[in-house]
Amino acid sequence: MTQDTFPIRRIDHIRFYVGNARQSAFFYRHLLGFSVSQFHGLETGLKHEVDYLVEQNKIRFLFSAPVRPGHPIAEQLAVHGDHVQDIAFEVDDVDWSFNTAVARGATPAREPFTLSDEQGEVRLASIKIYGDTIHTFINRDKFKGHFLPRFVSREEPGVPAGLIEVDHCVGNVELGAMNHWVQWYQDVLGFTQLMSFDDKDISTEYTALMSKVMSGGDGRVKFPINEPAEGKKKSQIDEFLEFFGGPGVQHIALRTDDIVGTVSELRRRGLQFLRVPKTYYDDLPARVGKIDEDLEELQDLGVLVDRDDEGYLLQIFSKPITDRPTLFFEIIERKGAKSFGKGNFKALFEAIEREQAVRGTL
Ligand code: FE2
């Protein structure tokens, strides 16, 4: 199998550049149930930046913000707003991963380097992907600490909302760039293409997009890549590219084993989700057959259902979590299905278009 040509243990963490990391940590703790667990900043000797690590089960998000003028993070924030800057992979051998990726055509972002303190050392290196986004390779086999050297623990537990791990992470790229990145993930990181959708699958009266799903790390890492297709009006991908200032990460899907419990709790805490019309549920039993969940409960929450050859999945999408209509979250529960909810695309995109119309960007 081609994915064995580039061993990746898992997504280690996702790093966000934000304007105010303290407030982001608070938001993720109180709204999404993350615990604030690690900190590095002025008080720990970091002079120009502050970093907060938040965790829930296997999910780790790192929020980084500049604390002085003229910081490179501030320049990227001016272009993109708060955004996902790095999807970091834990690997067996950072130097091998970096050198192999670069030999296969990746552009270096940071040459291999070591961070150390009295707890040991961590090796890191990064390569560029679309836009200003990067993949960092990280190995902490020689480190006894929790996350990275010089970070200190911070005990601010959240009340978990049942979020378990990152299921997939979606990138939006420019028209014509999707196949370039599909090829890049195949050539550089040995990923395979799981599935593809074209504008016949994913179109509404007004907008269309194309998508290919890349998978690596023995199936543990799944990255759909979207590009806009010609439609009558501006597609949600075009809207993203305009407001983001180029290609970037559009949504992160977080997996739960109890979507009804998770979404009820997130709604109660104030996270806003996209709504589909009530008519979506009329033909649902005919489309997906028998499911374990109570249909009325799903309808109350706005949870969507789709079936494939292997089972079914339940999913729901948040509204954008930033000022710009860019980054949002998907909550997903898998009951055997390994796909991405193709049967929901139309209802979903019509819901997004209603939001776009309100923003005046359709
Ligand atoms: Fe998704």
Q: Per-residue pLDDT averaged across 155-177, rounded?
A: 96
pLDDT of residue 4: 60
Q: How far is ligand 1, taken at its centre, from the CA of residue 249, in Å? A: 11
Per the document, the length of the chain is 362
Structure tokens at 269: 């805490």
How far apart CA 241 and CA 182 sit, in angstroms, is 18
Question: What is the per-residue pLDDT across 227-242, written as a single tens digit (0 to 9) for each?
Answer: 998 776 778 899 999 9
Instruction: Specify the pairing of strand 152-156 against strand 208-216.
Output: unpaired
Q: Sketch out the chain's domains with CATH numbers.
A: 10-156 (3.10.180.10), 163-359 (3.10.180.10)
* Residue 192 neighbours by CB distance under 10 Å: 14
319 pLDDT tier (thresholds 50, 70, 90) = very high
How far apart CA 264 and CA 68 sit, in angstroms, is 40
How far apart CA 90 and CA 13 sit, in angstroms, is 9
pLDDT of residue 30: 97
Residues near ligand 1 ion, CB 5 Å cutoff: 253, 330
User: Are the C-beta atoms of 205 and 232 separated by less than 8 Å?
Assistant: yes
Q: Per-residue pLDDT averaged across 181-208, rounded?
A: 85
Q: How far is ligand 1, taken at its centre, from the CA of residue 34, in Å? A: 21
Q: How far is ligand 1, taken at its centre, from the CA of residue 275, in Å? A: 16
Q: How far is ligand 1, taken at its centre, from the CA of residue 141, in Å? A: 32
Q: How far is ligand 1, taken at its centre, from the CA of residue 1, in Å? A: 25
Q: Which amino acid is at 253?
A: A
Spell out the SS3 assignment of 108-161: EEEEEEEEEECCEEEEEEEEECCCCCEEEEEECCCECCCCCCCCEEEEECCCCC
Q: Is 259 exposed, middle or buried (0-12, 13-18, 19+ CB in 10 A)?
A: buried
Mean pLDDT of the chain: 94
How far apart CA 124 and CA 169 sit, in angstroms, is 21
pLDDT of residue 217: 87
pLDDT at position 339 over 70: yes
> 322-337 burial, b if ≥16 CB within 10 A, otherwise e?
bebbbbbbbbbbbbeb
**Three-class DSSP category at 168:** strand
Q: How far is ligand 1, taken at its centre, from the CA of residue 170, in Å? A: 7
* Residue 353 neighbours by CB distance under 10 Å: 22
Q: How far is ligand 1, taken at its centre, from the CA of residue 342, in Å? A: 10
Q: Per-residue pLDDT averaged across 185-206, rounded?
A: 84
How far apart CA 147 and CA 145 sit, in angstroms, is 6
Q: Per-residue pLDDT averaged across 325-340, rounded?
A: 96
pLDDT at position 199 over 80: no
Nearest to 339 by CA among 360, 302, 294, 309: 309
Question: What is the per-residue pLDDT across 137-160, written as a single tens digit (0 to 9) for each?
Answer: 999 999 999 999 999 999 999 999
How far apart CA 78 and CA 156 sit, in angstroms, is 30
How far apart CA 65 and CA 82 sit, in angstroms, is 9
User: Are the C-beta atoms of 253 and 169 separated by less than 8 Å?
Assistant: yes
pLDDT of residue 3: 44
Q: Per-residue pLDDT averaged across 92-107, rounded?
A: 98
| DSSP-derived secondary structure letter, 106 | P
pLDDT of residue 347: 81
Overall pTM > 0.75: yes
Question: What is the per-residue pLDDT across 236-287, written as a single tens digit (0 to 9) for each?
Answer: 899 999 999 999 999 999 999 999 999 999 999 999 999 888 889 988 998 8
pLDDT at position 2 over 70: no
What DSSP line would sit under 20-80, residue for residue? -HHHHHHHHHHHH-PEEEEEESGGGT-SSEEEEEEEETTEEEEEEEE-STT-HHHHHHHHH
Q: How far is ligand 1, taken at its centre, from the CA of residue 58, in Å? A: 18
